[in-house]
Amino acid sequence: MPQQQKIIIDTDPGQDDAVAILLALGSPELDVLGITAVAGNVPLRLTSKNARKICELGGRPDIKVYAGASRPLVRHLTTAEEVHGRTGLNGPTLPEPTMPLQKQHAVDFLVETLMSEPSGTVTVCPLGPLTNIALALIREPNIAKRVQRIVLMGGAYFEGGNTTPTGEFNIYVDPHAADVVFRSGIPIVMMPLDVTHKALTTAKRVKAFRDLGTPVGIATADMLDFFERFDERKYGTDGGPLHDPCVISYLLKPELFSGRECNVSIEITSELTMGMTVVDWWHVTKRPKNALVMGDIDADGYFALLVERLGRL
Ligand code: BDR
Ligand code: CA
């Protein structure tokens, strides 16, 4: 088998985060070195528990899960229970996890791993607010040149925001952290709402998960049934956007996505547009290109990959 890609998933589960984790666990090309939890969709106490529930659902209680930041760098924590439910994983009934939470802090784990693994071999996959990643960069700036790349879900350009008119949730919750990350010089691949709003959990696609007939397939369908309610009402669509698995799918099948290299700057001063990802899509400034901003997705290919990989668990 060709060498596995080493990844760290930084996450705030969240049903779509959960599907992203399951996709990684079902994919032999990926070596999940650890999962770091951050406060976001729900508080840290729940995201660090939910990550373990999902590892156990995926049959991988051996995966190491670390708790990180319990609040953004500067602003108060904004959560999204209206989307994800009180637990963050409403939908299926999943047992309390028995696998332990690691004692080490997530930021220490990130720094230690990125400094000890060979340079340029670890991809970091943030699926929530970027607080842990920014803290790691502040703690040990040398990690910036050692990270292979960051592939993240966050931001929006043509679609506008989902939390404010210009703010996508992950970036809006901790814009100062996003600013640190986008200025870090690490190669970034960004999956914005422009992509994820084309990846809808239609009734037919959810049924394909349920038809797997496995605990993972049924729990995934239950999660998606719950999670899409809010967005179906909001956008008037059949299904809601399945955001976070786009990140893991990109590692497995980059050809499902297309985009362009741009400068992305984060708004951190205006309260009106706080957390906006200002994408220089048309290259109208001389600001340096710092991200590959995705704009399109083969949604049928994406869901086919998800069903196939979750079917292995
Ligand atoms: C992002 O916000 C969260 O609600 C989702 O998990 C996703 O990471 C979408 O804006
Ligand atoms: Ca998320």
Characterize 262-298 residue by residue with b for buried, 16 or more Cβ atoms within 10 angstroms of its Cβ, and e for exposed.
Answer: bbbbbbbeeeebbbbbbbbbeeeeeeeebbbbbbebb
Q: Is residue 272's pLDDT more than 70?
A: yes
83 CB within 6 A, ligand 1? yes
**Taking a C-beta distance cutoff of 8 angstroms, is the pair 291, 250 a contact?**
no
Q: Quick: pLDDT tens for 56-72.
A: 999 999 999 999 999 99
By the 10 Å C-beta count (0-12 exposed, 13-18 middle, 19+ buried), 253 is classed as middle
pLDDT-derived band of residue 231, with 50, 70 and 90 as boundaries?
A: confident
| Residue 172 CB–ligand 1 contact under 6 Å | no
d(CA 44, CA 268): 23
Peptide bond into 14 cis (omega under 30): yes
Ion ligand 2 residue ranges (Cβ < 5 Å): 12, 14, 17, 127-128, 244
Q: Domains in the chain and their CATH numbers?
A: 5-310 (3.90.245.10)
In this prediction, what percent of the chain has a pLDDT beyond 90? Answer: 91
- Whether ligand 1 lies within 6 angstroms of the CB of 18 is answered as no
Quick check: helix, strand or coil at residue 258?
Answer: strand
The CA distance from 34 to 145, in Å, is 20
> Distance between CA atoms of 222 and 229, rounded to whole angstroms?
11
Q: What is the mean pLDDT of residues 187-192?
A: 98
The yes-or-no answer on residue 283 being catalytic is no
- Residue 143 pLDDT grade (very low, low, confident, very high; cuts 50, 70, 90): very high
Q: Are 308 and 22 in contact (CB under 8 A)?
A: no
Question: Is 90 exceeded by the pLDDT of residue 237?
Answer: no
Instruction: Give me the catalytic one of 76, 84, 243, 283.
Output: 243
pLDDT range class, residue 85, cuts 50, 70, 90: confident
**Per-residue model confidence as pLDDT tens digits over 152-166:** 999 999 999 999 999
- How far is residue 294's CA from residue 9's CA, in Å, rounded to a whole number? 19
The encoded tokens of residue 282 equal 């048309």
pLDDT confidence band for 1 (50 / 70 / 90): low
Closest CA to 24 of 38, 7, 41, 39: 7
Decide: 221 and 227 in contact? Cβ < 8 Å: no
Residue whose CA is at the smallest distance from ligand 1 atom 4 = 41
In the reported structure, the alpha carbon of residue 290 is separated from the centroid of ligand 2 by a whole-number distance in angstroms of 22
| 79 Cβ below 6 A of ligand 1 | no
92 Cα to the center of ligand 1, angstroms: 19
Neighbours of 34 (CB within 10 A): 18
Question: Which distant-in-sequence residues (6+ apart) come within 8 Å of 309 by Cβ?
Answer: 22, 23, 26, 27, 252
pLDDT band at 239 (very low <50, low <70, confident <90, very high): confident
So what's the pLDDT on residue 230? 72
Query: Would you say the CB of residue 244 lies under 6 angstroms from ligand 1?
Result: yes
pLDDT at 3 over 90: no
pTM above 0.85, yes or no: yes
Residue 226 vs residue 200, higher pLDDT: 200
Q: Which of the two residues, 101 and 3, has the higher pLDDT score?
A: 101
What pLDDT sits at residue 305? Answer: 98
